[in-house]
């Protein structure tokens, strides 16, 4: 089906930059660099493994040292039952059919978020290619070898925007992040964001943020840091419990001159240091409404104000984001549980455009804006039977309103896009636990509707459109031994095109017009459908190493891909990749904790992502934009005497492209990224603890290029301290 408009039809994609890596020499060196990176990874893994095995043998006869254990520093199995994304009820990780990784709050303290984005907290997980363009821009990486929009984000199981909200969420109250890799359960829907890349699907996985819920005593946190670009950060947080009410409240503010993050001479040209101001506030509470603590109500709010400019006096922005979650859970009987969740997500972005492209004129040309509000609702019932088996049935609904405006100087404000989208889903899933075997199967029926008042500034040819689709998901896990298990999963997806992709932020007449930066419309976009498979094994090697191997295969029909049409002006257009789009890959991960002296990890992801379309030679065999063919991560944390910790981490990756056209695309060679955190804890008394830290980002100062003429600014640092009392 197509969304029709009363404007010109599909436009061929043409880019200014020509592919510059066709020579045999450059391809040879590219493969050689990948070979060297893989070789270094293998050597590193063998070296650490040798040390680890030796260390375990030496410590085998030592008596364990008793100490108080931080509940947030427990291992994955010690965490016990956790609310994993493949299910709506607590379960052991070892009994879930999907591969699940957990980033605890201990892990978060070891990771540098140089661009203040949640995606950076999962950048060391296999299969996650994180490309956060700047502190002011979203992650435009890839998940599972298939692009940035095939992985959904959730807060307590309720979806939020995977592009915008990771820039605005405050993480002080988040206890852990759960990452489910592979085709997701039918229990969770698409997210109806119409901004950036539009709708998001859990075909390649899901990321779920879990808030603190075991508050037992008062605790406060004060944080202060200073760093490169005159960056000052302050945070305050307090949690407490009064009777049956647990609550937390906090706020943060960051101010910075920032720095130029665009290529010289690009559309991002900056004549001064960009101003950057971001304020956040959070509030959450949980109440048990009965003496037996079987019924619980929770509320959470996150509010962000992000203001500044991008390096010119009339390139300011004013962004306001709000996120609210409300939930109720109740144990109706010993075997029947009910859960209700509702939320509100608001996005209000405003930005200026100047006349800089004409004789470097910095006078104001126009002010553009986008407003979006999304309301997700979910109601589910879970019935426990056959001891550990469960049947889940439920319904969810989302509504989304989307409005874009443009206001030229001394002219009236004009509406570009004005529409509403809704989605209703009915779902069920059976999960059987039969001795060592877990079998999961479920289905979802989705009804999606678009109502369009304006698209690209005019009345559309078709004011409404609906789709009714059936989706399925299945999986199995078999525990071979206490330490080893094998798993397999499969699932389907369906996504209509987002309204920004269809209507754009520019007129089709703005194509290649100097100073007109944004997205060109494509009214003939078709919906896309996909299917994903994975197969894996995980367990403990030599009784000391946690090893995981997962293979995946994802296929999409009529995949909607964002192509760079022009770099200066910066313009993109969404197009359907004709034929099939396929991503195949292998993920290998190993990690270990050694006698409370060192934690280390290493992982490698190899993938082949391409468009298969023999009828279109310009696209046939072309790599999917933004997806590298190799990615690797190495890192460790050493626990030194006097409560000193050092955490170096390294990322490396292969080449990516910004378009699906062989003739008109730009290649970007990835470079290694080395980060280091050094910290020391000072225990001032039983109730007062101070942590001082130094964070060093990109210590080799690799100022690598990224799509849309963005550039990593290179080395920077942060020095600071936090006080817990």
Band (pLDDT 50/70/90 cuts) for residue 53 is: very low
- Distance, in Å, from the CA atom of 300 to the CA atom of 169, rounded to the nearest integer, reads 12
Residue 39 scores a pLDDT above 60: no
- Distance, in Å, from the CA atom of 297 to the CA atom of 66, rounded to the nearest integer, reads 37
Band (pLDDT 50/70/90 cuts) for residue 563 is: confident
Of residues 563, 572, 677, 684, the one with CA closest to residue 625 = 563
DSSP assignment, residue 133? -
Least confident of 60-69, 318-327, 542-551, 689-698: 60-69
Band (pLDDT 50/70/90 cuts) for residue 86 is: low
Range 549-555 average pLDDT: 96
Range 335-349 average pLDDT: 97
Better-predicted residue by pLDDT, 619 or 270:
270
Range 155-174 average pLDDT: 95
Mean pLDDT of the chain: 86
Residue 522 scores a pLDDT above 50: yes
Answer for the pair 188, 680: CB distance below 8 angstroms, yes or no: no
Predicted local confidence at residue 81, as pLDDT:
53
Answer for the pair 276, 135: CB distance below 8 angstroms, yes or no: yes
**Strand 518-520, strand 571-576: pairing:** parallel
DSSP assignment, residue 660? S
Q: Quick check: helix, strand or coil at residue 109?
A: coil
Predicted local confidence at residue 411, as pLDDT:
93
Answer for the pair 11, 511: CB distance below 8 angstroms, yes or no: yes
**Strand 630-640, strand 644-653: pairing:** antiparallel
Give phi and psi for 49, each to the nearest 5: -60, -40
- Distance, in Å, from the CA atom of 724 to the CA atom of 722, rounded to the nearest integer, reads 7
Rounded to 5°, angle at Cα 704 from 703 and 706? 130
Answer for the pair 119, 141: CB distance below 8 angstroms, yes or no: yes
Q: Could you tell me the CA-to-CA distances from 411 to 314, 366, 406 in Å, in that order? A: 17, 9, 10
Band (pLDDT 50/70/90 cuts) for residue 84 is: low
Q: 209-227 burial, b for 16+ CB within 10 Å, e for fewer?
A: bbbbeebeeeeebebebeb
pLDDT-above-70 percentage for the chain: 88
Q: Please tell me the pTM assigned to this model.
A: 0.85
- Distance, in Å, from the CA atom of 83 to the CA atom of 70, rounded to the nearest integer, reads 20
Of residues 305, 266, 93, the one with CA closest to residue 179 = 93
In three state form, how does the secondary structure of 306-328 look?
A: EEEECCCCCCEEEEEEEEEEEEE
Better-predicted residue by pLDDT, 511 or 295:
295
**Strand 295-309, strand 142-143: pairing:** unpaired
Residue 218 scores a pLDDT above 50: yes
Q: pLDDT, tens digit, for every residue of 590-631?
A: 999 987 799 999 999 999 999 888 888 888 899 988 899 999
The β-bridge partners of 519 are: 572
Residues 6 or more apart from 685 whose CB is under 8 A from it? none
Q: Which helix (H) or strand (E) holds 34?
A: helix 24-58
Residue 31 scores a pLDDT above 80: no
Better-predicted residue by pLDDT, 592 or 661:
592
Residue 436 scores a pLDDT above 50: yes
Question: Tokens 């942060």 correspond to what residue?
Answer: 718
Range 162-185 average pLDDT: 92
Residues 6 or more apart from 655 whose CB is under 8 A from it? 21, 30, 628, 629, 667, 668, 669, 670
Q: pLDDT, tens digit, for every residue of 378-433?
A: 999 999 998 889 999 999 999 999 999 999 999 999 998 899 999 999 999 999 99
Predicted local confidence at residue 661, as pLDDT:
83
- Residue 647 CB coordination number (10 Å): 21
Looking at domain 24-724, what is its CATH homologous superfamily?
A: TonB-dependent receptor, beta-barrel domain (2.40.170.20)
Better-predicted residue by pLDDT, 77 or 131:
131
Predicted local confidence at residue 502, as pLDDT:
77
- Distance, in Å, from the CA atom of 352 to the CA atom of 362, rounded to the nearest integer, reads 11
Helix, strand, coil abundance in the chain, percent, nearest 5: 10, 50, 40
Give phi and psi for 38, each to the nearest 5: -65, -40
Answer for the pair 573, 547: CB distance below 8 angstroms, yes or no: no
Domain boundaries, the chain: 24-724
- Distance, in Å, from the CA atom of 474 to the CA atom of 422, rounded to the nearest integer, reads 26
Band (pLDDT 50/70/90 cuts) for residue 151 is: very high
Predicted local confidence at residue 339, as pLDDT:
95
Q: Is 183 exposed, middle or buried (0-12, 13-18, 19+ CB in 10 A)?
A: buried
Band (pLDDT 50/70/90 cuts) for residue 85 is: low
Range 543-558 average pLDDT: 93
Residue 209 scores a pLDDT above 80: yes
Residues 6 or more apart from 337 whose CB is under 8 A from it? 89, 329, 330, 331, 381, 382, 384
Q: Quick check: helix, strand or coil at residue 105?
A: helix
Residue 54 scores a pLDDT above 80: no
Q: Which helix (H) or strand (E) holds 44?
A: helix 24-58
- Distance, in Å, from the CA atom of 675 to the CA atom of 637, rounded to the nearest integer, reads 12
Of residues 191, 217, 218, the one with CA closest to residue 206 = 191
The β-bridge partners of 491 are: 473, 532
Q: Which two tokens stand for residue 230?
A: 């005159």
Band (pLDDT 50/70/90 cuts) for residue 363 is: very high
Of residues 420, 528, 556, the one with CA closest to residue 469 = 528
Answer for the pair 159, 191: CB distance below 8 angstroms, yes or no: yes
- Distance, in Å, from the CA atom of 643 to the CA atom of 67, rounded to the nearest integer, reads 14
How far apart, in Å, do the first and last CA atoms of the chain sit? 59
Better-predicted residue by pLDDT, 709 or 90:
709
Band (pLDDT 50/70/90 cuts) for residue 90 is: confident
Q: Could you tell me the CA-to-CA distances from 44 to 56, 603, 677 in Å, in that order? A: 18, 11, 20
The β-bridge partners of 125 are: none
- Radius of gyration of the chain measured on its C-alpha atoms: 25
- Distance, in Å, from the CA atom of 13 to the CA atom of 577, rounded to the nearest integer, reads 12
CA-based max dimension of the chain = 81
Q: pLDDT, tens digit, for every residue of 451-510?
A: 989 887 887 777 888 999 999 999 999 999 989 999 999 999 999 888 777 777 777 778
Range 254-277 average pLDDT: 93
């Amino acid at each position: 089906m197509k969304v029709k408009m009363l404007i010109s039809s599909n436009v061929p994609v043409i880019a200014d930059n020509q592919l510059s890596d066709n020579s045999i020499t450059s391809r040879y060196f590219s493969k050689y660099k990948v070979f060297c990176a893989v070789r270094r990874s293998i050597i590193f893994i063998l070296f650490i493994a040798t040390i680890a095995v030796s260390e375990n043998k030496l410590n085998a006869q030592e008596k364990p040292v008793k100490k108080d254990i931080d509940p947030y520093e427990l291992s994955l199995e010690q965490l016990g039952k956790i609310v994993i994304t493949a299910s709506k009820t607590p379960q052991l990780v070892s009994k879930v059919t999907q591969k699940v990784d957990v980033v605890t709050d201990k892990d978060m303290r070891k990771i540098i978020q140089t661009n203040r984005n949640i995606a950076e907290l999962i950048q060391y997980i296999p299969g996650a290619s994180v490309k956060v363009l700047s502190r002011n821009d979203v992650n435009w990486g890839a998940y599972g070898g298939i692009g940035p929009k095939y992985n959904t984000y959730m807060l307590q199981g309720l979806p939020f925007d995977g592009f915008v909200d990771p820039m605005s969420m405050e993480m002080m109250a988040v206890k852990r992040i759960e990452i489910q890799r592979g085709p997701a359960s039918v229990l969770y829907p698409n997210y109806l964001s119409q901004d950036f890349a539009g709708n998001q699907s859990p075909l390649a996985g899901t990321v779920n943020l879990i808030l603190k819920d075991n508050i037992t005593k008062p605790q406060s946190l004060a944080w202060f840091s200073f760093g490169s670009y005159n960056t000052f950060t302050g945070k305050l947080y307090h949690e407490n419990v009064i009777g049956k009410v647990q609550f937390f409240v906090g706020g943060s503010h960051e101010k910075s001159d920032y720095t130029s993050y665009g290529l010289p001479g690009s559309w991002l040209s900056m004549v001064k240091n960009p101003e950057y101001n971001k304020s956040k506030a959070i509030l959450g509470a949980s109440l048990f409404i009965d003496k037996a603590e079987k019924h619980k109500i929770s509320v959470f709010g996150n509010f962000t104000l992000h203001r500044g400019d991008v390096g010119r006096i009339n390139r300011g922005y004013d962004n306001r984001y709000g996120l609210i979650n409300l939930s109720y859970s109740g144990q109706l009987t010993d075997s029947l549980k009910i859960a209700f969740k509702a939320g509100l997500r608001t996005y209000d972005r405003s930005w200026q455009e100047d006349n800089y492209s004409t004789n470097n004129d910095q006078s104001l040309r126009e002010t553009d804006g986008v407003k979006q509000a999304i309301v997700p609702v979910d109601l589910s019932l879970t019935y426990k039977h056959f001891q550990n088996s469960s049947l889940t049935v439920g319904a969810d609904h989302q509504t989304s309103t989307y409005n874009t405006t443009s206001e030229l100087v001394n002219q009236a404000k004009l509406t570009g896009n004005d529409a509403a989208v809704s989605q209703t889903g009915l779902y069920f899933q059976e999960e059987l636990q039969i001795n060592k075997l877990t079998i999961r199967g479920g289905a979802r029926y989705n009804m999606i509707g678009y109502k369009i008042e304006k698209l690209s500034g005019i009345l559309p040819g078709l004011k409404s459109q609906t789709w009714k689709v059936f989706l399925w998901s299945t999986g199995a896990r078999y525990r071979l031994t206490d330490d080893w298990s094998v798993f397999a999963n499969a699932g389907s997806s369906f996504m209509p095109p987002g309204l920004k992709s269809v209507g754009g932020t520019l007129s089709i007449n703005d194509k290649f017009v100097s100073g007109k930066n944004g997205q060109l419309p494509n009214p003939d976009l078709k919906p896309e459908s996909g299917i994903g498979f994975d197969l894996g094994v995980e367990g403990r090697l030599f009784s000391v190493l946690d090893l995981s191997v997962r293979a995946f295969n994802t296929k999409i029909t009529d995949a909607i891909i964002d192509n760079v049409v022009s770099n200066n002006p910066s313009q993109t257009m969404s197009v359907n990749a004709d034929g099939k789009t396929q991503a195949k890959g292998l993920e290998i991960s190993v990690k270990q904790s050694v006698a409370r002296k060192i934690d280390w990890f290493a992982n490698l992801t190899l993938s082949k992502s391409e468009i298969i379309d023999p009828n279109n030679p310009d696209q046939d065999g072309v790599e999917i934009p933004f997806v590298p063919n190799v990615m690797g991560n190495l890192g460790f944390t050493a626990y030194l005497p006097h409560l000193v910790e050092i955490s170096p981490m390294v990322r490396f990756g292969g080449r990516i492209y910004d378009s699906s056209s062989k003739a008109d695309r730009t290649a970007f060679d990835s470079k290694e990224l080395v980060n280091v955190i050094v910290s020391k804890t000072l225990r001032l008394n039983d109730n007062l603890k101070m942590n001082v830290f130094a964070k060093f980002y990109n210590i080799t100062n690799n100022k690598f290029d990224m799509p849309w003429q963005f550039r990593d600014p290179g080395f920077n640092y942060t020095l600071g301290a936090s006080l817990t009392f």
